[in-house]
Amino acid sequence: MRHSRVTLAAGLAAAGLAAAAWPGRAPEAAPQQPTEVILSISGEAGARPRYAVPDFIARTADAETQAAAALMGTVLWDDLAFEREFYMIPRDTYRTIPAARSFADIPFDRWRELGADGLVVGTVERAGAGGFRVEVRLFDVRARRSVVAKEYSGSAANPRLYAHTAADDIHQQQRALRGVARTKLTFSSDRDGERVANAVSARDVKEIYIADYDGANQRRVTVTRKLNIMPRWSPDARSIAYTSYRRDFPDVYVSQIYQGALENPTGGRGQNWLPAWSPDGTRLCFTSTRDGNSELYVMNRDGTGLLRLTTHPAIDTTPTWSPGGTQIAFVSDRSGSPQIYIVDADGLNLRRLTSESWCDRPTWSPAPFNEIAYASKTGPGYDIVIYDLATQERRQLTSGRGSNESPAYAPNGRHLAFMSTRTGRTQIFVMGRDGQDVRQITTAGNNYTPDWSR
């Protein structure tokens, strides 16, 4: 098998940004690997293949490299387990197997005794000042041969990124699956314990944060001591649109978080909130009172080309675009209670989708799924429901543990982030689109309205 090489830029390895001090260049996704002839590892009798991921091998004896090697093995195991494509053999069962010192002395017989079909072995060594060189190989344990071989080099600042990149490569090559290990979440949080200055009523400050998909590397994006809420990633994951009260009324802002630029495309005309990006990133749909009532509008991302979509005395809000950019789902109380409606992106063909007691915060799934997730009132609180647009069937993912709201799809459509009060405070969780494998992402303060980068 050809051995391919990826260079990870230092900015990417450092997770791209440092709180409110913006670097001048955005991190870039690891380049696509050259086409290779890929051999797939299968399980026995049609079962999922069983994978093992021990600690990486530290080829350099310093403490930082050794710590990075252990961390990479743990993170890669977690990343592979997240998609549930493989049965991941628990790492605490590896203790009886001698640790390999190189790719040449792997004890395949012992790994086979443990039941492993696939074995991921990695090595880490110093490469220049402040850098790592990482090799990762996936072995077919029965055949004792490498079926995936990757090499990465870059900064030592973020060892987790090497594991995330390897996980995405393995999922792509073994399952033709776009993994989410390198994606990020954004959300608002009151964790800083600040109060809005000069507010008419005492209100907590909420700032915008970002984090890795698994909750690691949580970092603050805004520093305004105001309310900053409802963040939404741009499709290229270089900007975040959100609602901010930085001038004491709600308006839409776009932070180009890696360039340090701040845009206000709505220009302060009326009150504006809840921006949603079109799939190609060229337009924003949002709610505005600029003509007196809360209606939906679409504009180019620079504020030009304004188009009013809805005209009704009721409130129309919380838009979300279809994957093809031709339709927009939103919430309106025009029927007497908040329900979900769909309208074409030019304002035509409006129709009602739901007939429930109360619906809120729809989010349209990415392809190939054809569904809308939303929060449905199920008593004193809400639960996450998915509406299948093809079958017109609904399925409820959460069931009464706290109030569960604001679902947001992962870019591959296989997972949802949402906020929930199930632990007492409001926190961000993720789960599979079947409602299984619920994981808590945040713990500090209260955290709201997540969105998942594409």
Last residue of a domain, one of 149, 175, 201: 175
13 and 101 co-located in one domain: yes
Count Cβ atoms within 10 A of the Cβ of residue 44 and give its class: 0-12 exposed, 13-18 middle, 19 or more buried: exposed
Burial annotation 174-199 (CB, 10 A radius, 16+ → b, else e): beeebbbbbbbbbbbbbbeeeebeee
Q: Which of 175, 195, 217 is the endpoint of a domain?
A: 175
Q: Give, as one character, the DSSP assignment of residue 206.
A: B
Residue 424 is classified by DSSP as S
Q: What is the pLDDT of residue 268?
A: 87
Token pair in block for residue 241 = 């649109």
Percent of residues in the chain assigned helix, strand, coil, to nearest 5: 10, 40, 50
182 CA to centre of own chain: 8
Q: Tokens 């339709």 belong to which residue?
A: 327
Residue 392, Cβ density class (10 Å: 0-12 exposed, 13-18 middle, ≥19 buried): exposed
Q: Indicate whether 281 and 414 sit together in one domain.
A: yes
Q: Which residues pair with 139 in a beta bridge?
A: 119, 146
- The first and second tokens of residue 317, run together, are 């809000």
Residues of the chain with pLDDT under 50: 1-37
Residues 13 and 156 in one domain: yes
For residue 267, give the CATH number of its domain: 2.120.10.30
* Predicted local confidence at residue 454, as pLDDT: 85
Please count the CA atoms within 13 angstroms of the CA of 194 that sit on its side-chain side.
Answer: 15
User: Can you tell me which residue has the tokens 């409606």?
Assistant: 341
Cβ-based neighbour number of residue 423 at 10 Å: 12
Report the distance separating Cα 218 and Cα 18, nearest Å: 10
**Burial label, 63 (beta-carbon count in 10 A; 0-12, 13-18, 19+):** exposed
Same domain for 158 and 194, yes or no, is no
Which domain, by its residues, includes 55? 4-28+41-175
DSSP 372: E
Let me know whether 197 and 161 are in one domain: no
Neighbours of 34 (CB within 10 A): 8
Please check whether residues 71 and 188 belong to one and the same domain: no
Tell me the residue length of the chain.
454
Instruction: Specify whether 169 is located in the same domain as 224.
Output: no
Same domain, 59 and 92: yes
What's residue 22's pLDDT? 34
Q: What is the pLDDT of residue 200?
A: 54
**Per the domain annotation, does 215 fall within a domain?**
yes
Residues 395 and 317 in one domain: yes
| Domain co-membership, 124 together with 256 | no
34 located within any domain = no
Of 152, 175, 198, which residue sits at a domain end? 175
List phi, psi (to 5°) of 189. -150, 145
Same domain (yes/no): 312, 436: yes
CATH number at residue 123: 3.40.50.10070
Q: Please give the pLDDT value at position 86.
A: 97
State how far the Cα of 255 lies from the Cα of 308, in Å rounded to an integer. Answer: 24
Structural domains of the chain, count: 2
Tell me, yes or no, whether 54 lies in a domain.
Answer: yes
Overall pTM > 0.85: yes
Q: Are 381 and 402 in contact (CB under 8 A)?
A: yes
Q: Does residue 33 fall inside a structural domain?
A: no
**Token pair of 378 as six digits:** 């199920």
Beta-sheet strands, E only, within 324-403: 327-332, 339-344, 351-352, 359-364, 371-377, 382-388, 394-396
Domain identity same for 72 and 160: yes
- Answer whether residue 154 is part of any domain: yes
